[in-house]
Amino acid sequence: MSTEKAVSKKRKRDGSSEARFELAGSTSGRVGPVLVSFQALEPPPSIAFKCYSQKRAKTAKDAPEEDDMLVVGETPAVEFVSNEIESRKVAAAGCRYLLAVRNKKTNTISILPSAKTPHILTHTVKALKSLPSSAAPSKVQYLEAKTALGETFGTKKQKANIRAQERNRIDVSAMEGVMSYVMDGIEKGAGNLLTTGLFLNYSLLVMELTSSDVYPLHNIIPEAEWKALSVSAFDVAETDKDKIALLAYRAVPSIVVDSLLSRFAETARASSSYQATSTTKTNLLTHIFALCLKVDNYATNTKVVAHDLSMPITEVNQLFKSLGCKIMKLGERERGRLGLAGSSAEDKHAVLNAPVEFPKPRLKRK
């Protein structure tokens, strides 16, 4: 058969049979097509769905709002009902569709004038509706089930964590007999607290403190050590050079040596030798600086101390601040009271005032 005859025998499409598009008019009092979405289970095509809405006034002629509608359908075994909460979530997310309906008889496609939001349908098995709903497990039951599951199928690390939690768990029932003793201890401890009158008296005493009361001498050097030290030879010496020369030949009492080692040194584990740590060094330096404040009438030149100890002046200033001192330049009146020369006007001094104010700890940034 020739190509021309084959072409001529093909059925020609009638130009009038092409689909036509039109905009559907608003139908007052009618719902029109509804868009639904099924979860997990899709119903058979033969199922019929109905739309229900809240009761409206008889005078209302407009169609009910789709957001207030309830779409319902059922089969002999399953019920389908629209979930209002989930449908509103979908609408709030901006999920909307433009629908069109095709009429096969007239071959026209009518586009609905407004966009539709899908109704989310959930299903319920009719045979299971009569069964009572099981209550949610409590926190204790959940933890017990989780522990049993971890002990059976968990890794070694998970099992070790479970055993650690069991050891650290507090048995409240076992503490019932101890609560009376705990309450008695709290009452005894509360008896030592300051009353309002004592607190006011204590506040007045704090306000009356002077710089010499902040660090008493025997809090820096114990009284037993102070009495064991012989200073008569230093009183006879006339110059500072002579006093410094005496230091190398003075025998230190054993009570002083033992106290210095116990307060400013530590012994390593399973060892009898003493060693200095950063903590003990700081403790020793703060005691030395407290003595310097007493000698210098509570205004110590930190530059001189840093030079004598071969330390950075910033570190010396920080330690004086930890004692409650303020690092500042002295005025002319203060220099005259302390008998300092005018050349020390630019030198900074650690000044201790009463009542003492210690530096506040810095808050770490998150």
Instruction: Reduce the DSSP state of residue 110 to 3 states and report it.
Output: strand
Q: Please state whether beta strands 119-125 and 78-82 pair in parallel, antiparallel, or not at all (unpaired).
A: antiparallel
The CA distance from 287 to 260, in Å, is 11
Per-residue pLDDT of the chain (366 residues; tens, 9 = 90+): 444 554 445 555 554 567 788 887 766 666 778 888 887 778 888 888 888 887 766 555 554 566 678 889 988 888 888 888 888 888 888 888 888 888 888 888 888 888 888 888 888 888 887 777 777 778 888 888 998 999 899 898 999 898 888 888 777 777 777 777 777 777 777 666 656 655 555 555 555 677 888 888 888 888 888 888 887 777 788 888 888 887 776 678 888 888 888 888 888 777 778 888 888 899 999 999 999 999 888 889 999 999 999 999 999 999 999 988 999 888 888 888 888 887 778 888 888 888 888 888 776 665
Single out the residue of 288, 302, 306, 358 nearest to residue 330, CA to CA.
302
Residues facing 326 on adjacent strands: 351
User: What pLDDT score was predicted for residue 333?
Assistant: 84
The CA distance from 22 to 15, in Å, is 18
Q: For the chain, what are the domain ranges?
A: 16-128, 210-351
The CA-based diameter of the chain, rounded to the nearest angstrom, is 145
**What tokens appear for 193 in the block?**
């607290």
The CA distance from 162 to 298, in Å, is 59
**What tokens appear for 259 in the block?**
């106290």
User: What pLDDT score was predicted for residue 22?
Assistant: 84
326, amino acid identity: K
Residues in the chain: 366
The sheet carrying 326-329 orders its strands as 299-301, 348-351, 326-329
- Locate all alpha helices (DSSP H) within 53-209, ordered by sequence: 84-92, 139-153, 156-168, 179-191, 196-207
The CA distance from 226 to 290, in Å, is 16
The CA distance from 299 to 289, in Å, is 11
Give this prediction's pTM: 0.45
Residues facing 50 on adjacent strands: 72
